[in-house]
């Protein structure tokens, strides 16, 4: 029975991905000048601004849509390919008005675009409204085996059939707890993993033969 357990362990060890959670604990305050951020072997690059948190909301990265120092998009990459699983998001004043003027909460609009890239081609996308309370957003299985992940904030002009007029800043959100599963199998690629399966099968055969001989001697 112990040998059979070893066999199962060999199979599971060669199949499991390695999960990591990017919690942005080390991002700078809004007064910082960081264009990129590194955590748990992942690189987060800011597009259109800095990678930082807003005011007292440390441990999160803030995206804003216009006329601020904050990034409007972040690009996440790792040394190997990865699956993007989920992240926490908290929106703020994600509404716009029908006429030029301050944001008045007239119309909510889809202001978050998530894009998965593999081999320089977009293979997955997800468009949704961030909401104004913190929530966990899960990504579909299409966000698998990626080279990079892009999370962007949109303005009403980017949205088809929107009646909104854009007056900055109407939309912003915080991101936290980005879950990535590494699928870099260079440590145990399938051909190199075959000996594990072979060894497990040999151990299982030996165990079965030993049990069979023991039963015959009784």
205: number of CA atoms within 13 Å, CB side? 6
- How many domains does the chain divide into? 2
Share of the chain above pLDDT 90, in %: 50
Is there a single domain that holds both residue 172 and residue 191? Answer: no
CA distance 53 to 7: 47
Domain ranges, residue 3: 1-16+187-218
Range in 52-56, 111-115, 151-155, 204-208 the model is least confident about: 204-208
pLDDT at 201: 56
Shared-domain flag, residues 12 and 110: no
Token couple for 163: 């009646």
pLDDT at 209: 65
Neighbours of 161 (CB within 10 A): 5
* Per-state percent for the chain, helix, strand, coil, to nearest 5: 20, 40, 40
For the entire predicted model, the pTM comes to 0.73
| Mean pLDDT, range 157-166, rounded to an integer | 58
What is the rounded CA–CA span in Å between residue 18 and residue 185? 10
Residues 89, 6 share a domain: no
**C-alpha closest to that of 42 among 27, 20, 71:** 20
Residues 153, 75 share a domain: yes
Least Cα distance to 115 among 80, 151, 146, 155 occurs for 151
Question: Of 12, 46, 14, nearest to 32 (Cα)?
Answer: 46
Angle between helices 190-217 and 2-13 in degrees, nearest 10: 170
Q: What's the confidence (pLDDT) of residue 68?
A: 85
């Amino acid at each position: 029975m112990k040998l059979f357990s070893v066999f199962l362990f060999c199979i599971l060890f060669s199949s499991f991905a390695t999960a990591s959670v990017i919690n942005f604990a080390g991002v700078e305050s809004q007064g910082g000048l960081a264009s990129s951020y590194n955590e748990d072997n992942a690189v987060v690059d800011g597009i259109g601004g800095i990678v930082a948190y807003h005011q007292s909301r440390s441990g999160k990265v803030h995206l804003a849509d216009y006329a601020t120092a904050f990034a409007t998009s972040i690009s996440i990459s790792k040394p190997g390919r990865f699956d993007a699983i989920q992240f926490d998001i908290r929106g703020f004043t994600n509404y716009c008005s029908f006429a030029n003027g301050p944001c008045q909460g007239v119309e909510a609009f889809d202001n978050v675009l998530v894009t998965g890239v593999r081999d320089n081609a977009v293979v997955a996308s997800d468009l949704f409204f961030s909401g104004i309370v913190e929530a966990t957003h899960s990504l579909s299985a299409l966000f698998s085996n990626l080279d990079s992940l892009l999370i962007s904030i949109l303005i009403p002009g980017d949205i088809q059939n929107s009646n909104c007029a854009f007056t900055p800043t109407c939309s912003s959100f915080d991101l936290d707890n980005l879950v990535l599963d590494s699928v870099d199998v260079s440590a145990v690629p399938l051909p190199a993993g075959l000996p594990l399966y072979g060894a497990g099968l040999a151990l299982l055969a030996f165990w079965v033969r030993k049990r069979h001989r023991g039963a015959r001697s009784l």
